[in-house]
A and B are shown apart, each in its own frame.
Chain A
């Protein structure tokens, strides 16, 4: 049993993480030691479960507002608004010229409404995917897209 204290820290090793000599010695010990073998089996049985539990916890959270919140923080960090105020107050001539901005803004409104009608947007022009699921297949049809998840084993074929 006293040998076990030396081998115990190795029980969490993944394949290839131990030097060959240590790995072989560990296997020999496990062949002979029921307790250590049971412990390693228990460790293996729960491998990955903690990640699943934490990701499940993350899944309970609504991440729809997360990106906007991050970008808002980025903007505050860069202090853009403060720079605009500083610029205007210290550059009176340029500020006077910028009185033309309302005219430009009105022009932009006209351009926007005339140039970007809903019909001008192709139905499938936007597709973004981020996934840990491996290769993903997207089939485009007139009825709408069909998104298929990848499989690590590669034995799924649409």
Chain B
């Protein structure tokens, strides 16, 4: 009788633990979720008259305080950012930025931006309506590269 009770208890314990784990672990809820994101690559230049590509108008407030005066759009695409799998974005200097979702909950997402050749990984959390502006190439000759990630565009 005691052994039967123990077996029953064990099954109940494991079932409850599995239920609790599935609810408590954020990865469990977001594992299959893809977060659409608009990904733009921009070239920023110090020299020349101030100019912001009209397609970058929404990042004006984020970049106006920086030293780079001219902002030109290099590429623009909408991708699905996944958890546990990187989406690679080509950069003009031949390298790649690897984007993935670390965690997504409601309207808040943590995105990892990795540039492997520079051994740099950044994880940053934003909410819907915000953008991540991330430099992806060091400045050379007054020119720098940035990536703009807009979740749920």
Q: Does B associate with A?
A: yes
Taking CB atoms, residues of chain A closer than 8 Å to B85 are 62, 64-65
Docked pose: A118 CA to B128 CA in angstroms? 11
Q: Is the CB of B59 within 8 A of A63?
A: no
Q: Mark B67-100, 1 if CB is under 8 A from A, else 0.
A: 1000000000000001111100000000110101
Q: Is the CB of B67 within 8 A of A157?
A: yes
CB-based A-B contact count at 8 angstroms: 170
Interface residues of A, dominant DSSP = mixed
- For residue A152, which residue of chain B has the nearest CB? B138
Q: Is the CB of A144 within 8 A of B62?
A: yes
Taking CB atoms, residues of chain A closer than 8 Å to B107 are 118
Cβ-defined partner of A95 (8 Å) among B9, B58, B121: B9
Q: For A55, A65, A147, which residue has the most chain B Cβ atoms within 10 angstroms?
A: A147
Q: How large is the interface on A (under 10, 10 to 19, 20 to 34, 35 or more residues)?
A: 35 or more
- The B-contacting residues of A in range 102-120, CB under 8 angstroms, are 102, 105-106, 108-109, 112, 117-118
The answer to whether B139 has its CB under 8 Å from any CB of chain A is yes
Taking CB atoms, residues of chain A closer than 8 Å to B105 are 118, 121
The answer to whether A148 has its CB under 8 Å from any CB of chain B is yes
**What distance in Å separates the Cβ of A129 from its nearest Cβ neighbour in chain B?**
5
Q: For B59, B85, B120, which residue has the most chain A Cβ atoms within 10 angstroms?
A: B120
Q: Is the CB of B118 within 8 A of A148?
A: no
Cβ-defined partner of A127 (8 Å) among B10, B62, B115, B124: B124
Q: Residues of B within 8 Å of A, CB-based: how many? A: 62
Q: Is the CB of A96 within 8 A of B138?
A: no
- For residue A58, which residue of chain B has the nearest CB? B116
On B, residues with C-beta under 8 Å from A are 2, 5-6, 9-10, 12-13, 15-17, 19-20, 23-24, 58-59, 61-63, 65-67, 82-86, 95-96, 98, 100, 105-108, 110, 112-127, 130-139
On A, residues with C-beta under 8 Å from B are 52, 55-56, 58-59, 62-65, 68, 88-89, 92, 95-96, 98-99, 101-102, 105-106, 108-109, 112, 117-118, 121, 123-133, 139, 141-149, 151, 156-158
Which 4 pairs show the lowest CB-CB distances between chains A and B?
A59-B116, A118-B106, A144-B130, A102-B16
